[in-house]
Structure 1
Amino acid sequence: MASRRDELNAYTFARKRMVGAFLQPGGGGNDEDAPRPLRAVLPSFVVAAVVVAGFGMWGVLKPAAPPNWDNGKYILQGKSSTTRYVILNDGPNKEPTLHQVLNMASARLVLAAGATVLSVADDVLDKYPRRGATIGIPYAPDKLPKKDDAGKQKLWSVCDTKSKQNAQSTVGQSVFIAADQDEKTLKDPARVLDENQALYIQEPNLDAKTDGSFYLVDSNGVKHAIGTYNQTDEQINALKLALFGQSPEAQRVTKDWTNTLADGYPVQFPDIPGLGDKAQNSHLDMSDSKQKKVGRLLSFQDAFYVVGLDHLYQITPFQYQLMKYDPRMISVYGSSSEAKADPINASDINKLQPQIDNHLMTEHPDMPTHQLKAVNIGEKPRTVICSTYAGAEQDGRIKRTVWADGEYPAKVSANSLSAHVTAGHGLLYRAVDGDTLDASGQASSGSYFLITDAGLRYSLPASTAAPTADGSSAPAAPAAPAAKAEANEAQARLDYKDVLPPQVPAAWSKLVPAGPVLDTTAAAQPQNA
């Protein structure tokens, strides 16, 4: 058994071996020659001191500002304050003068096209010998959309929402300029009206004694008045019954909302020669004598027909939906029977081919052809209804879609006075009048606007003409086709020289609240007050 002395010697030997394994021996061959710790650490301290001294020297020798920072070609931004400045040659003797600028848009408008942002130490800017007044356009945008995004068309949608009492004065409205997820929401097939769906709306009252017009809105964004001025109340009520059921209440909307819709042909009962308040027999040769009455509704496979005096009139499913409730049907079916289509046999259809007339199906091309159900009335109504501009068709006609749901397509701030623009996006566009756009997709006339994700539209004058009293620029002469790609001066200075502005119908554009005019002259005005 080892003695305590043997254990102590073993511990001492193990400790020396461990120390020797971590520290380089002194070279004498003796395990007692292990170096002192300071001998290994000292070189590290020396290297660290040299590095620190090097950084200190660089800080002393480093220039206080980038070369040529004050040549008037840069938007200067304080490193710490992020305040923006420009240098203009507008001193008493045209010498360079430093001006603080209210916002990024103003800074770009007072400099030549292609100006870039340069970061400069605040103390360098503070020591600049010549300082002028703060300049810029109040409330002009500070954040501008990127060049590659500004020319991409967005979905424009104006949405009206029904109040609890369906009162005209409390109709809510929001405007959306949508991209990314917001665009996907407005294109969601489950919420975009299809060919079997419609809306039932009423415009604001014309005055205290005159109700606003009632409309059927189809999936193509076309509004059809319910009846015409020369029809009786009985006929108009029968049309409403055919389309919307018993005692329907139309959703109140704003005039601005209906102005974005296309005007369609009014909804009326098809005109069948010989159909009136008294029953008449048809001259057609039919095997079933009950079907030989003028106005009788017939069906064969998926097609619908109305018996006339000398012709069998083919009608669309939508016209069939109307005809069932035509007051004149009482003379055909009686007051106690429901008007509905009876099947006609194949032999009669084949025999009557020369007498089949289908002109009613194409008489009004913008009229719906499918049977419709209004989605904003009845059970589980979708009362947030949106009229969407989705670009132009190949022939230049405005492409519209209609969207309906229980909530807005994106969250909006209560009582917001601006439009909802998808964050990080914007648009440089031309607002044009009319219902047909330039088929090339680029307008040759109209007014330039820039819209940012702040939700305001800013007019860009297309010439040096002074702004008019209402804040818009004086109209410019229409541009020649070869000049479409030429950006105006303000557009070029805002870094959108090569952007071709897409078209937006004025009916949607004017619903976005207007900001100040982005004018190069106004951007250089002092703002001392």
Structure 2
Amino acid sequence: MQSRRDLYQAHRLMTQRVGLALLQGEPDVAESPMRRLSAAAFGGVMVGLLVVAVFGIWGVLSPGGAKGLDQPGVLIIEKETGTKYIYDANTKKMFPVANYASAMLALNSDKVSRRSVSRKSLNGFERGAMIGIQGAPDSLPGSDQLIRGPWSVCVRETQAANGVPQQLTALAAGRDVGGRGLGDGEALVVQSGGVGWVIWKDHRMQLSLPPNQVSVLTNGPEAAEVPPKWLNAIPSAGGFGAPNVPGRGTAVAGPGGGQARVGQVFKAQTGASGQTLWYVMLQDGLSQINATQAQLLLLDPKESQAYPGASVRPVDTDVSSAQQITSKTRLLDQNLPPTLPKFVKWDPSTPLCSVFPVGSPTSHLTVGGSLPAPSAGVLGSGSAGGSSTVDQMVLPPGGAALMSLVPGGGDSSTTTEGSGSLSLVNDQGIRFALPSADVAKKLGYDAKKAAPVPSSVVHLIPQGPALDPTQARKPIPTAGG
């Protein structure tokens, strides 16, 4: 009895014999007629793949066939060395460029394509002299790496390599320097170049007292030394001194019919609130002042002329008597604190910072913050010199800034766009002026997104060359002239 398997194999044999009989006229050929065709096709495919692989390997090992390098708007980078080139159609020469920023400016195109090619691909081009702006950045940060603020101008005391204490200024951008702000009733006293300054409500006021009187005024804290470049970043608000009193010491009629001298300080208590009112005697009567002005007058060395043979101290009177001999001269200074503020002691080993929030022309003071330790590579950078720029730039890793220069801080100058109002700060903390918004666009930036930064802060950043497209296309002078 035949199984189903035997029947299937018999059917398959009969089908094969019918096919062979139709193709070759012989049903019992020992070899399949399609086998040679399949083997030939497979062999052909393998040979083709081998040829393609050989030519691919040859192209990698022996490059040099790059095309389209003479098209406009192409930045060419040599693979072996990283040298940048641009092609000039007028001279039909390939010009090496000093740095990446110069190449972008020299191409003068809003859309630049970058081609990385082998040295051999450039062999067919005649070379021109190297062009570009010496000192321009060779790396440009992306627009997503640009920071807007805050900007903190800080000073702290460090030790130089020889162990001598030195004042170090720093500009920190895009980070919180910490510390605490001064309260409404607090102030700080500093000095620079022998001149004392009171910092109150985030403004600096020149102190008229001599140095030996500062601790008496502050009830302890001495004036800490700070560099002028740090001080100049803080907005100015006039003087912190006693009012001018001409004819000091001249005998005149005092309140209540008594005798007095010009320059003497009087005080009176009001009945309702117990508030103390302060006055100074002038030649035509009493002029009201505030408590701070009174204290400054009493500490003024010239005040002894108003108290011949007596100690310098306020004279008691009453409000009604004071109002009977009122002077026509107004001396009350609204810029000074109404009462003497509490003077905060600053530890010079910690940063004292003037912090400008994002987009703000005014700052607030913080004491006791923190900053990274300075390194030798960031001290005295830039071409402007250490006398007018900060010693240390502190930026986030890879961070940079596109800034629009606006009046503010301690600088009252005005600047308009097109005259250096735009600047680019790279990740090395160097500032490069941009002549126009169009130049910023050629470098890949939108001038409308520039961060407004006070001019007093911008000028503290070490400065590099201006990124001018005209200069980018000029040959770099050789050592021989």
**What is the TM-score normalised by the length of structure 1?**
0.58
1:487 aligned partner: 437
1:177: Cα distance to partner?
4.8
Are 1:254 and 2:227 counterparts? yes
Partner of 1:173: 168
Alignment of 1:434-453 (within 5 A): 435-436=411-412, 447-453=421-427
Shift of 1:178: 0.2
Question: Cα 1:271–1:70, aligned 2, differ >3 Å: closer, same or farther?
Answer: closer
Change (3 A) 1:72 1:445: closer
2:208 aligned residue: 226
SS of the residue corresponding to residue 420 of structure 1 reads strand
**1:386 and 2:375 equivalent?**
no
> In structure 2, how many angstroms separate the alpha carbons of the residues matched to 1:55 and 1:368?
90
Separation in 2, partners of 1:52, 1:177: 65
| CA deviation string 1:254-305 (max 9, x = no partner) | 23233323333322347899x9899998559xxxxxxxx9733658779653
Match of 2:241 in 1: 268
Indicate how the Cα distance of structure 1 residues 217 and 294 shifts in structure 2: closer, same or farther if over 3 A, else same: closer
Aligned counterpart, 1:289:
none
Structure 2 equivalent of residue 481 of structure 1? none
Q: Distance in 2 between matches of 1:362 and 1:502?
A: 42
Matched pairs, number: 402
Q: SS of 2:94's equivalent?
A: strand
Which structure dedicates a bigger proportion of its chain to strand? 2
* DSSP 3-state at the match of 1:264: strand
Q: Please, what TM-score do these two structures have when normalized by structure 2?
A: 0.63
Q: Give the secondary-structure state (helix, strand or coil) at the position aligned to 1:399.
A: coil
Aligned equivalents of 2:75, 2:69: Cα separation in 1: 9
Q: How does 1:417-432 map to 2 (within 5 A)?
A: 417-418=380-381, 419-422=392-395, 423=397, 424-430=399-405
Matched to 1:511, the amino acid is: L
- Partner-residue secondary structure (3-state), 2:363: strand
Distance of 1:79 and 1:302 partners within structure 2: 84
Rounded Cα–Cα distance in structure 2 between residues aligned with 1:496 and 1:412: 30
Distance 2:457 2:286 in 1: 46
Q: Is the 8 A contact 2:159 2:166 kept in 1?
A: no
Please list, as runs of the form range in 1=range in 2, the aligned pairs for 1:41-56 lying within 5 A after superposition.
none
- 198 and 61 in structure 1: CA distance in 2 versus 1, 3 angstrom threshold: same
2:314 is the alignment partner of 1:364: no
Deviation at 1:514, TM superposition (A): 2.2
Distance 1:445 1:520 in 2: 15
Over 3 Å counting, the alpha-carbon distance change for 1:136 and 1:55 in structure 2 is farther
Which of 237, 240, 245 is 2:219 aligned to? 245
Contact 1:160 1:385 in 2 (8 A): yes
TM-superposed CA distance for 1:104, in Å, is: 0.9
Q: Secondary structure at the match of 2:188?
A: strand
- Contact map agreement 1:313 1:360 (CA 8 A) in 2: no
1:85 alignment counterpart? 85
Residue in 2 that maps onto 1:199: 188
Q: Could you tell me whether the CA contact under 8 Å between 1:113 and 1:495 is conserved in 2?
A: no
Whether the 8 Å CA contact 2:131–2:473 is kept in 1: the answer is yes
Show structure 1 runs of 5+ residues with no match.
Answer: 1-26, 29-46, 205-211, 228-232, 285-292, 343-347, 463-485
Shift of 1:431: 6.6
* 1:306 equivalent in alignment to 2:306: no
Partner of 1:496: 445
Amino acid at match of 1:296: K
Q: Give the whole-Å Cα distance in 1 for the aligned partners of 2:94 and 2:374.
A: 40
Alignment of 1:310-329 (within 5 A): 315=290, 318=292
| Equivalence for 1:402 | 365
Residue 142 of structure 1 pairs with residue 138 of structure 2: yes
**Structure 2 portions without partners, runs of 5+:** 7-41, 258-263, 382-391
- For 1:216, the equivalent position in structure 2 comes to 198
Over 3 Å counting, the alpha-carbon distance change for 1:147 and 1:399 in structure 2 is same
Deviation at 1:193, TM superposition (A): 3.2
Q: How far apart are the structure 2 equivalents of 1:109 and 1:410?
A: 35
CA distance 1:406–1:451, change in 2 (3 Å):
closer
RMSD: 5.3
Instruction: Name the counterpart of 1:482.
Output: none
Report the secondary structure of 1:105's partner residue.
helix
**How far did 1:384 drift?**
3.4
Match of 1:510? 459
Equivalent of residue 522 in structure 1, options 471, 474, 479: 471
2:456 & 2:406 partners in 1: Cα distance? 9
Q: Is the 8 A contact 1:198 1:217 kept in 2?
A: yes
